[in-house]
Amino acid sequence: MQELAKIYGDTLLLDKKFNYCPGCGHGVVTRLVAEAIEELGIRQRTVSVVGIGCGGFSHHYMDIDAIEAMHGRSPAVAIGYKTASPDKIVYTYQGDGDCSAIGLAELLHGANRGLPVTCFMINNNLFGMTGGQMSPATLENQVTATTPKGRDVHVHGYPLRVPEMMADMVGAKYVAREAVCDAKSIRKAAKSVRNALQCQIQGLGFSFVEFIVPCPTGLKLSVPDAYKWSREKMVEYFKPQVFKNEVGQNNEN
């Protein structure tokens, strides 16, 4: 392990056993976040506020302080934290249920407030930890534990696109959607994680990145099929893109 630490640095806790299911996209995003923290040299002043759901495990694999908040409230906790300790780097790590179902108000008002905090929303398009129920991001006609005949949009509404809602908010300075379904998209996602944290380090304002991740267990698919499904179905509806990037502009000034 010490040999690996030489390569990966101190942020990732490499001897910690993963709780994520085999093939889970969380593993990829967690590592991207850890690598960005390491690269930016902010480990000792970074605090993660995690949501309820599989994302709550994420901080266990990193040598940083963390707060496990109540379901959906991480952005409000992060704002309270940042208000009292503006020199710390605070990011939330939440699932799509935590972030866009129960916690949508705190997220959007957090974005609009424009305080420099970062929210990472890991969208696996269902409630993973509780066994694969519909989330706001579940696709039309998609079968889940609570939509046995598929999501009926006339009853449950339409899959919710979150960063689109923030793109117009003045307080949000970096807004992106990424996917971690193949090597190419993972490399792009890594860049967005760095930009989002950089946005906070520079004190520009709120930053947000959504990640489209496969959940083989929740989707009841093999790992390769889950990745293929996410790459094809999810990415078609939730198009990866950088909606807003004022980090670069600031760098050029």
Shortest spacing between CB 126 and another protein, in angstroms? 21
Q: Which of 49, 99, 119, 196 lies at the binding interface for another protein (CB under 8 A)?
A: 49
Instruction: Tell me, residue by residue from 18 to 47, as one string, x for binding to another protein by CB under 8 A and - for no binding.
Output: -------------------------xxxxx
Nearer to another protein, 50 or 176 (CB): 50
Using the minimum distance from each CB to another protein, give the nearer residue, 115 or 181: 115
Instruction: Answer positive or negative: Cα dihedral of 142, 144, 149, 152.
Output: negative
Smallest gap from Cβ 25 to another protein, in A, equals: 22
Distance CA 68, CA 188 (A): 28
* Least gap, CB of 101 to another protein (angstroms): 14
**Region from 23-31, 58-66, 152-160, 205-213 binding another protein, contact rule CB under 8 A:** 58-66
CB of 103 to another protein, least distance (A): 9
Binding status of residue 170 toward another protein by CB under 8 A: no
Cβ closest to another protein, residue 40 vs residue 143: 40
Q: Which is nearer to another protein, 107 or 139 (CB)?
A: 107
The contact pattern for another protein, residues 76-115, with x = CB under 8 A and - = no contact, is: xxxxxxxxxx--x----------------xx--x------
Q: Where on the chain is the footprint of another protein (CB under 8 A)?
A: 43-47, 49, 52, 56, 59, 63-70, 73, 76-85, 88, 105-106, 109
